[in-house]
Amino acid sequence: MTASGPDRGRPLGPTRPGTARTAGRADGADRRYRPARPVTARPGRPPGPAQRNPSRTIALAVMGMLVLVTASVARIAHVGASAKSPALTWALSPATNTVTIRLTAASGPSGRWILARSRVLVSKDGQSTRPSLDGRVVRVPVPPGKQTSLVVQVTGPRPIRQAFTVTVPPALRVLASRRSRGGVLLSLSSPVRRPRGRLCRADQVSSPQASEVAVAPSPIPCRAELTLTDADGEQAVVPVTIPGLPETPVYSFAHSAGRAIYITADDGWTPSQQVLGIMRKTGLPVTAFLIEHAAQQHLAYWRAFVAAGGTVGDHTVSHPNLTKLTLPQATTQWAQARQAFGHMLGQTPVLGRPPYGAFDRTVQAAAYRSGLKTLVGWSAVVDSDGIHTWDGKPLRAGEIVLLHWVPGLGGQLTRLLAVIRARHLNPTPLTPASFTGITLQRRSLDGD
């Protein structure tokens, strides 16, 4: 078989693997194709189409980034154009004479976005002040009694500039300070708010007049600072020093000179004719610490008691536990009873005995304020069961014996006098002089 055309005369046989034949060109040229190179995969990359042009890839990435940046700028511009400006607020604190200027966000996310990028700067009388760490709150000290010019500037997406004048009330001043028996009285430059509470936990603070403050004394010495506030909020800190009130001393023993012993009886609810008869017959000195309410019910008896040589002591108006009362209340209990006995019996007590033997510095100060010279305890008790001394030993000189005006008092006194005679003791009147040089009683007693 022969082929026509340019290959005429060349036999056509089977082709070799990897070779191909094709028709000749129009100009009759004859070209044989070389075998194609086998495609080999690179390590780690699957075989595929030919690699893309790197320049074209970079150009596409740059164009994408430009699109994103343009969109972000457009969004920021939209947020800035649509958001409201942050708000400026300020407040004056007269107590500290400080103006607080605060920048607050407008509503919505855009308001918070603008606030985060804003800062506040304040100038006071032409001088810049230091802002806070967050830049959105500034506190400016301003002098009292003057006008201060402030200029506030806000930097950021929405700048603000405001100027205003702050007028601060005059400072609260102490015009005079007077010390008296009633404590300390302060006269102030303007009316003050009513003070409350106590100074040093004991001294009552009050306001007798609108522009006055009084600090009452207490048994405890007080040195403290009193903070006062006027109607405008201005404050003044006043140092106050008040010495403790004087106190009436307490004794449970008296002089033992001459083998003296002292007989006392408390309350007065049940007068005893037997006791009165002994006093009249023997001149026995007895001190009756009377409750005013009890004495009023038996005035005739107590006048006879005084006429027989008896001594009246103050056992308060109504026999309360004075340690549970305030200083004014305890003072009233002592003073009112003392005054009443002076009117009723013609004898104003200088000796007092606290009910239940309970006392503290307030009770002692109250006794002092009421005019009592000495508070009297006891070292021995006589009742229906016998005689009981503080240490369980027999009665001895210097003891103060306690009885009560109860039914059977006459018999108790008779037994006591028998022991006194047996011990060669001498019943002696009880007076403030009986305690000269005697050790003070420091703790409350336990009794009625």
pLDDT band at 43 (very low <50, low <70, confident <90, very high): very low
Q: Is 390 found in the same domain as 267? A: yes
Listed residues 167, 188, 203: the one ending a domain: 167
The rounded distance, in Å, linking the Cα atoms of 419 and 125 is 93
**Is residue 430 a part of any domain in this protein?**
yes
pLDDT band at 9 (very low <50, low <70, confident <90, very high): very low
Domain of 337, CATH number, reads 3.20.20.370
Cβ within 8 Å of residue 116, ≥6 positions away: none
The rounded distance, in Å, linking the Cα atoms of 229 and 190 is 10
pLDDT of residue 49: 46
Token digits of residue 357? 């033997």
Does residue 289 or residue 44 have the better pLDDT?
289
Q: What angle do CA 264, 267, 269 make, to 5 degrees?
A: 125
pLDDT band at 393 (very low <50, low <70, confident <90, very high): very high
Q: Is 93 found in the same domain as 140? A: yes
The rounded distance, in Å, linking the Cα atoms of 24 and 414 is 168
pLDDT band at 61 (very low <50, low <70, confident <90, very high): low
Does residue 271 or residue 245 have the better pLDDT?
271
pLDDT of residue 38: 47
Listed residues 242, 264, 297: the one ending a domain: 242
The rounded distance, in Å, linking the Cα atoms of 139 and 131 is 8
Range of the domain at 178: 174-242
Q: Give yes or no for residue 391 having a pLDDT over 80.
A: yes
Find, among 212, 218, 182, the residue nearest to 198 by Cα.
218
pLDDT of residue 55: 65
**Is residue 51 a part of any domain in this protein?**
no
pLDDT of residue 22: 35
Q: Is 291 found in the same domain as 209? A: no
The rounded distance, in Å, linking the Cα atoms of 218 and 72 is 75
Q: Give yes or no for residue 45 having a pLDDT over 90.
A: no
**Is residue 431 a part of any domain in this protein?**
yes
Domain of 121, CATH number, reads 2.60.40
pLDDT band at 59 (very low <50, low <70, confident <90, very high): low
pLDDT band at 287 (very low <50, low <70, confident <90, very high): very high
Q: Is 267 found in the same domain as 339? A: yes
pLDDT in tens, 104-151: 888 888 888 888 888 888 988 778 777 766 778 988 999 998 889 899
pLDDT in tens, 19-33: 333 333 434 434 444
Find, among 256, 262, 244, the residue nearest to 365 by Cα.
244
**Is residue 28 a part of any domain in this protein?**
no
Q: Give yes or no for residue 439 having a pLDDT over 60.
A: yes
Token digits of residue 377? 């305890």
Find, among 240, 405, 254, the residue nearest to 319 by Cα.
405
Does residue 327 or residue 413 have the better pLDDT?
413
Q: Is 385 found in the same domain as 346? A: yes
Q: Give yes or no for residue 48 having a pLDDT over 60.
A: no
The rounded distance, in Å, linking the Cα atoms of 315 and 334 is 8
Sign of the four-CA dihedral 250, 256, 261, 262? negative
Q: Report the DSSP beta bridge partners of residue 90.
A: 101
pLDDT of residue 7: 39
pLDDT band at 348 (very low <50, low <70, confident <90, very high): very high
pLDDT of residue 6: 39
Q: Is 413 found in the same domain as 264? A: yes
- Collapsed DSSP state (helix, strand, coil) of residue 412: helix
Does residue 83 or residue 441 have the better pLDDT?
441
Listed residues 150, 167, 184: the one ending a domain: 167
Q: How many domains does the chain have?
A: 3
Indicate yes or no: pTM above 0.85.
Answer: no
Q: Is 297 found in the same domain as 403? A: yes
pLDDT band at 16 (very low <50, low <70, confident <90, very high): very low
pLDDT of residue 53: 59
Q: Is 396 found in the same domain as 366? A: yes
pLDDT of residue 19: 37
**Is residue 52 a part of any domain in this protein?**
no
Q: Is 290 found in the same domain as 189? A: no
| Average pLDDT value for residue range 165-188 | 87
**Is residue 163 a part of any domain in this protein?**
yes
**Is residue 237 a part of any domain in this protein?**
yes
- The average confidence (pLDDT) of the chain is 83
Q: Is 266 found in the same domain as 223? A: no
Q: Is 357 found in the same domain as 335? A: yes
pLDDT of residue 108: 81
Residue 109: DSSP 8-state:
H
Q: Is 330 found in the same domain as 424? A: yes
pLDDT of residue 26: 37
pLDDT of residue 242: 84
**Is residue 43 a part of any domain in this protein?**
no
